[in-house]
């Protein structure tokens, strides 16, 4: 007779039996949906906002303000969760998101709306990391894959439903409803989580690296502003070259600071483990892949094939279905003892295949929306399979005391990869298009598909990096991977295993 394995003695204090976790899990998924939706929900509402709101700021700032704020706070939330605990940081993020949503719905000028969106993003950025951390603490290791995969599916689908939701609300109600609906839902989630989540023992009372946080914020802000320089109509003195120089200097200064700081914001020792570095690279690749598909495909369907915005959004359905089904299946496969390396390589190969099929479709069937839509299915499946792998591998490769920041960094890189990747691909599209039509205006009809073909080919090349990075993922079942041993020394917490 076999005796069941006992629960580990270091089980998190807020770990509850499965029957008690349904309500908080639903609340966590609800907040992740709202945070992901608000990343893209305004993409189809910007024309209406421009008509309704007075002010000289470009409407694109309403999108970029959220993206900037959400990206720069991700790492800080992860570090604060390690020090102060997950529950207080989660409730703080929900409160900021709620207040930001309320301020957005009540804004009377473009400046007010942009500032409110930044406040909303300051909360939304924390939700993406803290929901994953909280779920990891709620369930034993053998069950985490199932629930992390649900979070991956929820995030991917909500991101893609953003444009469709924004277009429907703008057409039938008002763009203000995109923010107003967040308020009662966030209030319910706040109440449920405040009442049901148990507190956790706080980590070591180490000081926060404020200088590192400032340098990281400056580096991320300058990088994101550089990628959207023309869209945001920034002044001439704040050119892309200036922003690029600031980004490079701040990045170097940040890395030097993290090497010398007694308590770094992002311990570079995490990246000394190849498995964690690989998970971070794959996180960035998934950001490029997901946002490239979400941005370029609807735009092509609307401008080249003259489909309505809502119809174009519906053609993303295979991508959504692929992400959802594959994310759930990924958790099951990991629980079935499939090594993360094998699963990751297969998933990354599907991402490459999806972009290759899209590039081929631009050559042979550029005017067939159903064919283009079908090519998104393997892409969505690959992205969905990778979502849980990234989270679980990064958490298992890090010391328990650093799980917050270890979870946050791949999420931050995914957002950064999506924003920077789309901007660079947009530049590539414009350059190829200009080259093809220079002196030949009659070639405009065929130039669009060929320019987009170059975008898909470049995205496929980026996805190959994900295949290569999977080489360093664990080649044994996740449950056989030992948790890193942690030693505390003068340089702070570091992994020695």
**pLDDT tens digits for range 83-112:** 888 888 899 999 999 999 899 888 888 888
Which of the following CATH numbers is that of domain 18-203: 1.10.10.10, 3.40.50.1370, 1.20.1250.20, 3.40.50.1220? 1.20.1250.20
Domains 18-203 and 270-497 share a fold: yes
- Determine the average pLDDT of the residues in 255-259: 90
With 90 as the cut, is the pLDDT of residue 417 above it?
no
* Percent with pLDDT over 90 in the chain: 19
Both structure tokens of 328? 């759930």
At 489 the pLDDT is 36
**What's the predicted TM-score (pTM) here?**
0.78
pLDDT tens digits along 109-162:
888 888 888 898 888 888 878 888 888 777 777 677 677 777 777 776 777 677
Sign of CA dihedral 206, 148, 153, 173: negative
Could you give the 3-state DSSP secondary structure of residue 425? helix
94's enclosing H/E stretch is helix 86-106
At 43 the pLDDT is 64
- Determine the average pLDDT of the residues in 2-15: 39
With 60 as the cut, is the pLDDT of residue 1 above it?
no
At 479 the pLDDT is 57
Alpha-carbon gap, residue 9 to 267, rounded angstroms? 27
Alpha-carbon gap, residue 29 to 154, rounded angstroms? 7
Both structure tokens of 329? 């299946």
pLDDT tens digits along 432-467:
888 887 766 655 667 788 889 999 999 999 999 999
Our measurement of the distance from residue 286's CA atom to the centroid of its chain's CA atoms, rounded to an integer in Å, reads 9
At 343 the pLDDT is 92
At 359 the pLDDT is 94
Residue labelled with tokens 């311990």: 267
Domain ranges of the chain: 18-203, 270-497
Provide the β-strand partners of residue 486.
Answer: 495
Pick the residue with more confidence: 401 or 254?
A: 254
**What CATH number belongs to 270-497?**
1.20.1250.20
pLDDT tens digits along 162-188:
777 776 776 677 778 878 888 888 899
Alpha-carbon gap, residue 497 to 493, rounded angstroms? 12
Residue 335 exposed, middle or buried by CB count within 10 Å (0-12, 13-18, 19+): middle
């Amino acid at each position: 007779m076999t005796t069941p394995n006992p629960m580990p003695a270091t089980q998190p204090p807020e770990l509850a039996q499965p029957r008690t976790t349904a309500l908080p899990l639903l609340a966590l998924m609800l907040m992740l949906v709202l945070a992901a939706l608000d990343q893209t929900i305004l993409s189809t509402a910007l024309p209406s906002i421009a008509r309704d709101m007075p002010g000289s700021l470009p409407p694109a700032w309403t999108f970029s303000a959220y993206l900037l704020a959400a990206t720069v706070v991700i790492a800080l939330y992860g570090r604060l969760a390690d020090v102060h605990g997950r529950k207080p940081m989660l409730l703080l993020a929900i409160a900021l998101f709620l207040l930001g949503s309320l301020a957005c719905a009540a804004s009377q000028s473009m400046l007010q709306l942009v500032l409110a969106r930044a406040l909303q993003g300051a909360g939304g950025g924390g939700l993406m990391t803290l929901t994953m951390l909280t779920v990891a603490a709620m369930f034993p290791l053998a069950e985490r894959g199932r629930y992390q995969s649900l979070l991956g599916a929820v995030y991917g689908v909500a991101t893609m439903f953003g444009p469709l939701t924004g277009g429907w609300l703008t057409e039938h109600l008002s763009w203000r409803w995109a923010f107003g609906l967040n308020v009662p839902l966030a209030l319910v989630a706040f109440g449920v989580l405040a009442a049901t989540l148990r507190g956790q023992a706080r980590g070591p009372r180490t000081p926060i690296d404020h200088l590192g946080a400032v340098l990281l914020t400056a580096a991320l802000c300058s990088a994101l502003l550089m990628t959207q320089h023309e869209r945001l109509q920034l002044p001439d003195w704040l050119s892309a070259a200036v922003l690029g120089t600031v980004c490079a200097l701040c990045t170097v200064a940040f890395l030097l600071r993290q090497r010398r700081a007694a308590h770094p914001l992002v311990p570079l020792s995490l990246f000394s483990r190849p498995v964690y570095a690989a998970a971070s690279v794959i996180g960035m690749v998934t950001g490029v892949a997901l946002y490239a598909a979400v941005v370029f495909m609807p735009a092509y369907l609307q401008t080249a094939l003259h489909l309505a915005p809502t119809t174009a959004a519906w053609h993303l359905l295979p991508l959504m279905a692929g992400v959802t089904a594959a994310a759930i299946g990924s958790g099951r496969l990991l629980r079935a003892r499939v090594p993360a390396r094998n699963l990751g390589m297969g998933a990354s190969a599907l991402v490459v295949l999806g972009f290759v099929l899209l590039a081929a479709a631009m050559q042979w069937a550029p005017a067939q929306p159903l064919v283009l839509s079908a090519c998104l299915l393997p892409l969505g499946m690959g992205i969905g399979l990778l979502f849980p792998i990234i989270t679980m591998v990064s958490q298992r490769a890090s010391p328990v005391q650093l799980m917050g920041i270890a979870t946050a960094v791949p999420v931050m890189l995914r957002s950064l990869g999506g924003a920077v990747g789309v901007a660079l691909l947009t530049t590539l599209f414009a350059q190829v298009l200009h080259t093809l039509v220079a002196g030949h205006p009659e070639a405009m009809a065929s130039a669009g598909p060929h320019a987009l073909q170059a975008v898909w080919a470049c995205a496929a090349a980026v996805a190959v990096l994900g295949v290569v990075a999977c080489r360093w993922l664990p080649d044994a079942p996740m449950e056989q991977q030992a948790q890193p041993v942690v030693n505390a020394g003068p340089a702070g917490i570091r992994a020695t295993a």
